[in-house]
Structure 1
Amino acid sequence: MNTSSTNRPAIVEEAYTILLQLGGRRFLAMTGANQLMAAGRTASNPNPWLRLNLCRNQAQVNRLKITLMPSDTYKVEFYHQELVDWVPVITHAQTFEMVYGEDLPALFTSVTGYDTHL
């Protein structure tokens, strides 16, 4: 798969844009976030999203999902997910809607307690 800047698939572009809104590679290094997963715009999924796993934090959440909404704002979901008898159980869920891109780092810091930059 060719991932040069001119031939990058749309799913990568949209997820990369969401990651850049958070702070890009510096965000990943500062927070320890890992295992990024993304979904692009399709007929069955009109809103692209980025999901990542988080390290331990004050909110006791281990997942973050950021969805780009049609209004060009984000829906941000923090939650703790674990498998109990092979069934996903979600607790500590916090959802924020109508979040602008420039507000993503401050929201992340207020919920998790982790700084997104030096």
Structure 2
Amino acid sequence: MSTSPAPKPAVVEEAYTILMQLGGKEFLTMTGADKLMAAGRTESNPYPWLRMDLRENQAQINRLKITLMPTDTYRMEFYRQVLVDWSPVISHEQTFERVYGDDLRELFTSVTGYETYMPRIIIGE
């Protein structure tokens, strides 16, 4: 009796697609982004999203949420969230609508100042 692998939940596939649009492991390595959290499509949440924490940067933001919109573009929400008396306080908000997948990395760099591509070393020609 053979067993096939369990199907991946949609939330994993959609979040993975968003992360791959950013550059995947290369993006995470270059930017130091961590604590990824995702939500897939449900009746109460029709738009899948990926959220991550960011390290200190020029925009003074510490969080990014990327949402896949019905137009097959993304909404990028950069913001700073801190806890004050156990309540979240949000500031430094910057939201960009209708961002194409090919533009995610460039927009991330323009807001945070972090490069998302690893340098390539070419030896000899």
TM-score greater than 0.5 by the shorter chain: yes
Change (3 A) 1:19 1:80: same
Rounded Cα–Cα distance in structure 1 between residues aligned with 2:70 and 2:55: 30
Shift of 1:7: 1.6
Which residue number corresponds to residue 34 of structure 1?
Answer: 34
Shift of 1:54: 0.2
Tell me, yes or no, if structure 1 residue 96 matches structure 2 residue 78.
Answer: no
Change (3 A) 1:96 1:32: same
Which residue number corresponds to residue 78 of structure 2?
Answer: 78
Change (3 A) 1:78 1:10: same
**Unmatched segments (≥5 aa) in structure 1:** none
Which residue number corresponds to residue 9 of structure 2?
Answer: 9
Partner AA of 2:63 in structure 1: R
Partner AA of 1:99 in structure 2: V
Rounded Cα–Cα distance in structure 1 between residues aligned with 2:51 and 2:89: 17
Secondary structure of residue in 2 paired with 1:44: coil
Structure 1 runs of 4+ aligned residues shifted over 3 Å read none
Which residue number corresponds to residue 25 of structure 1?
Answer: 25
Shift of 1:64: 0.3
Superposed CA RMSD in Å reads 1.3
Which residue number corresponds to residue 63 of structure 1?
Answer: 63
Worse-superposed segment, 5-14 or 95-104: 5-14
Partner AA of 2:107 in structure 1: L
Which residue number corresponds to residue 44 of structure 1?
Answer: 44
Rounded Cα–Cα distance in structure 2 between residues aligned with 1:22 and 1:5: 27
> Structure 1 length as normaliser, TM-score?
0.94
**Unmatched segments (≥5 aa) in structure 2:** 119-125
Partner AA of 2:59 in structure 1: A
Rounded Cα–Cα distance in structure 2 between residues aligned with 1:5 and 1:68: 27
Partner AA of 1:36 in structure 2: L
Shift of 1:8: 1.2
Change (3 A) 1:14 1:5: farther
